[in-house]
Amino acid sequence: MEPVGIGIIGTGNISDAYLKAAPGFPVLRMVACADINMEAARAKAATYGIEAMEVAALLADPRIEVVLNLTTPQHHVPVGLQVIAAGKHVYAEKPLAVELSEAVKLVAAAEAAGLRVGSAPDTFLGGSHQTARAALDDGIIGEVVAGSAHMMVPGHELWHPNPDFYYKAGGGPMLDMGPYYLTCLVNMIGPVSVVTGAVSRAHETRTIASGPRAGEVVSVEVPTHISGILDFANGAQVTITTSFDVWKHGHNHIELYGRTGAMIVPDPNRFDGAVMVADGKGEWRELPQAHGYGDDNYRILGLADMATAIRAGRPHRAGLELALHVLEIMEAIIRSGEAGQRLELGHPAARPAAMIAGLPKGVLDPA
């Protein structure tokens, strides 16, 4: 399969995870990187043996078919529109956008140009979560009727030297971490049709605890404890809570409750972790991993699958429809909580195709 040329816009910390994982996927040819800070781009290029370019040059380079958009969330749509206007496919870090109305512009532009848009997270393609998906498809706990999901931490200001964004418009725990949990749930159960939300915030300010700005106070402008009830199209009901207001808790990341048993699903922000099931009131037991990509950080898997899909002429799994649906769920939970209304969703998404078991690492389609 002929490799797909990749250019990167945005060379922050997350770019290292992508560039380190890239050599494991022969379908990807990393060509160049660009950043508003060209010094940073040149340093990254030197580290990984690629070229450093200005954004305009990267967008004009005929060797590049897909642009990996690793800019900050508020720039995902503006940069994505630039990429599409240049006639290239785009794959972005999560979330797809900070507002559904902005994401719809990206959808329209991509459809008009006949180009693909992909979006992280891709952790749902990893070994543990594909093992859970396969087991559910095989009916290991019967039809899923309910579940719970929890992402609750005390706040990023405790470790992040510049945590401002997390507490401004477009930030907060749901937009920050919700994509991992919701994408994983949609992959396992299917689309959500209705949401009910509740929101609050425990503090009006946060104090940075590390780095050169330690002691500086940041104002909080968004809800920091967000809970939702998700009514899935198949009838399952799952509660989700994301929070920056919780010091410690004892909840599992995700639990699913079926008609004949239950399942514990590991951290959806990782590719590994134990999938546990119980039959009826029986004891928990660990499932053997049935799929690969559960033994490392493969935070380029969605891009590799998209590149493979371009060559194979099939849909890619971390696709635009899925990312748009997840963004709508998150936005609706927050709007529901602020307005006190139960909200129906208008952008459903089918479950992406399951990963194919038994293929060699780095190969995502049969020969």
User: What global pTM score does this model have?
Assistant: 0.95
Q: Taking residues 143-155, report their average pLDDT.
A: 97
Whether the pLDDT of residue 196 is over 90: the answer is: yes
Query: What tokens were used for 1?
Result: 């399969």
What's CA 232's distance to the chain center, in Å? 19
| pLDDT mean across residues, the chain | 96
Cα distance between residue 4 and residue 22, in whole Å: 12
User: What sign has the CA pseudo-torsion 153, 225, 148, 332?
Assistant: negative
At 118 the pLDDT is: 98
pLDDT for position 239:
98
Indicate if the pLDDT at residue 367 is higher than 80: no
pLDDT digits (tens, 9 = 90+) for 290-306: 889 999 999 999 999 99
Say how many Å lie between the first and final Cα of the chain, rounded.
Answer: 9
Cβ partners under 8 Å of residue 168, min gap 6? 221, 222
Tens digit of each residue's pLDDT (9 = 90 or more) over 7-18:
999 999 899 999
Q: Quote the tokens at residue 273.
A: 């972790």
pLDDT digits (tens, 9 = 90+) for 265-292: 999 999 999 999 999 999 999 999 988 9
pLDDT average, residue stretch 87-104: 95
pLDDT band at 205 (very low <50, low <70, confident <90, very high): very high
Rounded Cα distance between 6 and 25, Å, is 12
Residue 83 clears pLDDT 80, i.e. is over it: yes
- Domains of the chain, each with CATH number or no CATH: 4-123+298-319 (3.40.50.720), 125-286 (3.30.360.10)
Q: For 121-135, write each residue's pLDDT tens digit.
A: 999 999 999 999 999
